[in-house]
Amino acid sequence: MKRPVQVFNYRIQNNSNSHLDIYIDGAIVDAETQEIYEVWFGDTTSVSFKSIREQINAANPSSVKFHVNSPGGSVTDAMAIYDYMQQLKRSGVKVDAIGIGLVASAGTYIVMGGEVPALTPNTWWMVHNASGWAWGDVNEVERQAATLRKFNNQIRDFYCEATGLSEQEITAMMDAETWMTAEEAVAKGFVKEVDNLSTSNVTNKVTAEPWGFKNKAGIAAYNSALVTQPPFDLQQILLTQNNDMKNFLKNFLEGFKGNFKPAENATTEDIRNQLADALEKSLGSLETEVTNLVTEQVNSMKSNIINEIKGVYDDKITTLTNKATELESEIANKIGQKTTAQNSEVSNEGRGKFNKAE
């Protein structure tokens, strides 16, 4: 039995809303060539339109993301993958694509098939003319050359439509085999953006109402991690307090010199004792300043945490207080109504007895 070709890795996030990550880390070839590479040479890096189509159809995902690191390969299979990506979009599947490392030749078609084509910062992007080989008599070679020209023109038109650049400019780039950085590929219109791989820049805090989970403490953790309000950023502290540290060390040395003033006729024992006293006084001052700095940062952290917790629970506490006040008023009203009814009954009962005595 043949071992299955490991074309790419994927993961299913959940059964109701599946996501598929497709990793292309090799050449793009036709199905027959892919099988030959795998069986004869043990290669498991190449991909074909057939292998990708079968994996996606088997997973039936609602979203797909292509991660492409490829030197290129077969024009027909790469274009087939591009067209298949468009079919997926029309059927309601969200399709994204990002280039990582190297996106060259036919590999560019797949990245450009995403809804928002992107490249990582250090990715190289390359476009060039179609290539192939011909064998036969002069007529056969000319026929194959004419066919190859059709392929080249189709690639040129594909790039023109996607980028908005003229035929002349794209032709010149393909003739020159143009290599571009990620930023240059964006500037030319081949892709939409450079993914800088940074952490999320979310700045909007989450309030208790839309939080869909039972653990409300998670809101405080989320809000405290926002880029705009880090509760304790050690790196920033070190950077911003660099000058303060220099001044602190300067003051420490000056204080030490001020505390250490041996007399001209001091003995070795006197100098040793005075040196110890000067160090003790200076280190005592150092301990105080360090303690104050740490205390300040700890208090700042505590304040941030308390504010986050209050932000999460203040609304709930206010709501509960209002409900308690309403309930208290309602109970008071019921007690008042019952008391009034009892007084009325006693009054009527007394009046009946009086009348009966008459």
- Which of 51, 105, 224, 282 is the catalytic position? 105
The C-alpha atoms of residue 249 and residue 290 are separated, in whole angstroms, by 12
Cα 66 to chain center, whole Å?
17
For residue 3, what is the DSSP state? P
Q: Which of 340, 98, 326, 325 is nearest to 195 (CA)?
A: 98
- Which of 18, 63, 128, 285 is the catalytic position? 128
DSSP string, 32-66: HHHHHHHHHH-----B-HHHHHHHHHHH--SEEEE
Q: What burial class does residue 204 get, using C-beta atoms within 10 Å of its C-beta: 0-12 exposed, 13-18 middle, 19+ buried?
A: exposed
**Burial per residue of 279-315, b for 16 or more beta-carbon CB atoms within 10 angstroms, e otherwise:** eeebeebbeeeeeeeeeeeeeeeeebeebbbebbbee
The C-alpha atoms of residue 308 and residue 180 are separated, in whole angstroms, by 46
DSSP string, 142-206: HHHHHHHHHHHHHHHHHHHHHH---HHHHHHHHHTTEEEEHHHHHHHTSSSEE---PPP---PPP
The C-alpha atoms of residue 330 and residue 128 are separated, in whole angstroms, by 81
Q: Is 105 one of the catalytic residues?
A: yes
Q: What burial class does residue 108 get, using C-beta atoms within 10 Å of its C-beta: 0-12 exposed, 13-18 middle, 19+ buried?
A: buried
The C-alpha atoms of residue 340 and residue 348 are separated, in whole angstroms, by 12
Sole residue written with tokens 């790469």: 78
Active-site residue numbers? 105, 128
